[in-house]
Structure 1
């Protein structure tokens, strides 16, 4: 438990310091991940696992806390304070400030007290039942997977767009059974980072599509050591298992993840399986020691 708390405190502290030092700038994910030493692709999910907050929410909160401190120190020019923490207008700054602190910058100047000053002390927004997760480490060769790319993340999953993509693939695949086709899914984009409707998902089959490869998209499943975890349940709760992998295994054990997407292997057919019994293997690429 202490390792988990220490790792959580470390990532919160590093992000908070970086945002404070660069509060007048647009925070770059590349720069932030490099500064903290965490994988860029996984950084947002790691941060959510540690704090219960999306990274963008926390960055905004940290900037506003710096603004609050500046105003309390006697800086009464609201537009100057707004610019110093990355806002380009006093009105947008004041709206964000009031939403977070329940008072306006002018109220602070007049001596009114804010609500909840420290972002790091705010309670996590989401909790889910914890369970013990143990990975199986697998060394894999590079695998070329044929399939289709599509866009759309909705109701906590890519299920809708994935269903459409797999239906199209099934019409052109060789007549193999579900297990032989071995469906593979990849969230190419982290839907918590960009516009969710524009987030890209790849759907493919391990077998049955090579004869049609000229008209299909390709995903390269890279060679290396992969940690395999099993998710049991509907796809719209998969984010909970992924978050637990980060909070229970990656952060406390200081696991170094590669900047590669999480690969999903679907072990049973969701069209004839009860949602609570659906099994999915989740693969995380790790740095070899």
Structure 2
């Protein structure tokens, strides 16, 4: 939506301004309404999401001021299109994108060097900004301090290894170069509220005798390299809404370039460990595979899934049952199989979509990166 060039809008709330620019009153600003700026002082500085939420609660205030008759839904739709086109919000959005990309770059570095010596000075250099600014920016984007973030990822990695392999704690410490067993034990118990042995015992089986709890078929296949255009699920108070918004964008993008007809697949990728990482901390991407030489679409990230051997589990049924499938895979199938995990992350592809398929007929393929266990 292009803004009417003859109409000026408040740079904060987006309300049309009724100002005589040839006769500005003392203290009046030509870019803000009197509700948002008074005598040079900003009275409100909400996020765009919260601003849309507020206008939706009080559409009558907007209608009274502007002379319209919008419902809550209509007003939110109008402002959802208008605000990103306003100069101030454009600047904030562009700045937020740049900051977000910097932190994503650092998080990817942390993923690759999780058990190396990581400190704010080194990671600030990766981001290309000062150490002081980096610390504040990292917490603002990720919701956690750098130290807590790294410690959590390390402990969750160790926890996942404990339940998905039979590796002993001393062996695991040797593999990951953790400080020592006593330091790990204290940190582990503080985070998971139980000892390492209790945690392993608690997660020893998903169900009695490893019985398959859901309709599921599996195969071992060599999977070629995949290139994915993705959007990342942000921290939010309404994760289901955010998830549906992302999928809508992915579907629109796919339809625009007719990617489905080119054999491309819808994909979701989790960078964390099922059954362990809390939902609010999960790093989750949704996307679509791209044909060779397809240009990177604006606004999307690119993730490369390496080729390799995968255990592929096909599940038929409701998406909310997938957690049960993961429990079976990691706690029953994997420990008793001839395979162990490789490092690349698990991902899912969707054979059909809810828009055109009854929920009970939905097909999801879960890809688990594996290698043969050493004899």
Q: TM-score of the superposition, structure 1-length normalised?
A: 0.53
Aligned length: 194
> Which residue in the other structure is 2:327 paired with?
243
Distance in 1 between the 2:190 and 2:363 partners?
Answer: 32
- Structure 1 gaps of 5+ residues are 1-25, 39-54, 66-117
Distance 2:327 2:220 in 1: 19
1:279 aligns with 2:363: yes
Distance 2:236 2:212 in 1: 24
Q: In the TM superposition, what is the alpha-carbon distance from 1:283 to its structure 2 partner?
A: 0.5
Whole-Å separation in 1 of the counterparts to 2:203 and 2:274: 24
Q: 1:265 to 1:154 in 2, by over 3 A?
A: farther
The structure 2 residue matched to 1:171, chosen from 235, 248, 252, is 252
Residue 271 (structure 2) pairs with residue 188 (structure 1): yes
- Residues 154 and 287 of structure 1: is their aligned pair in 2 closer, same or farther, counting only changes over 3 Å? farther
Residue 325 of structure 2 aligns to a residue whose secondary structure is: helix
Q: What is the alpha-carbon root mean square deviation over aligned residues? A: 4.2
Provide the C-alpha distance between the structure 2 equivalents of 1:186 and 1:212, rounded to a whole number of angstroms. 18
The yes-or-no answer on 1:142 pairing with 2:275 is no
**CA 1:154–1:235 in 2, change beyond 3 Å: closer, same or farther?**
farther
1:267 aligns with 2:267: no
Structure with the bigger RCO (C-alpha within 8 Å, sep 6+) is 1
Distance 1:141 1:154, change over 3 A: farther
User: Counterparts of 1:225 and 1:146 in 2: how far apart (Å)?
Assistant: 22
Which of 193, 198, 205 aligns to 2:281? It is 198
**1:57-96 per-position Cα deviation (integer Å, ceiling 9, x unaligned):** 9952448x9xxxxxxxxxxxxxxxxxxxxxxxxxxxxxxx
Query: What displacement does 1:196 show?
Result: 1.8
Moved more, 206-215 or 225-234: 206-215
Counterpart Cα distance in 2 of 1:194 and 1:221 = 21
Partner in structure 1 of residue 307 of structure 2 = 223
CA distance, structure 1, for counterparts of residue 215 and residue 305 of structure 2: 27
Aligned residues of 1:152 and 1:201 also touching (Cα < 8 A): no
State the alpha-carbon separation in 2 of the partners of residues 136 and 122 from structure 1. Answer: 24
Distance 1:207 1:35, change over 3 A: same
Kept in 1: contact 2:205–2:332 (CA 8 A): no
Structure 2 unaligned spans of 5+: 1-151, 162-166, 173-187
1:162 maps to 2:243: yes
Offset at 1:176?
1.9
CA distance in 2, matches of 1:176, 1:240: 33
**Residue 279 (structure 1) shift:** 0.5
- Once the two structures are superposed, the pairs formed by residues 87-166 of structure 1 within 5 Å of their partners are 130-131=213-214, 133-151=216-234, 160-166=241-247
Query: Per-residue CA shift, 1:175-219, capped at 9, x if unaligned?
Result: 427464421111222364444223221111124793443531012
Q: 3-state DSSP class of the match of 2:371?
A: coil
Report the secondary structure of 1:215's partner residue. Answer: coil
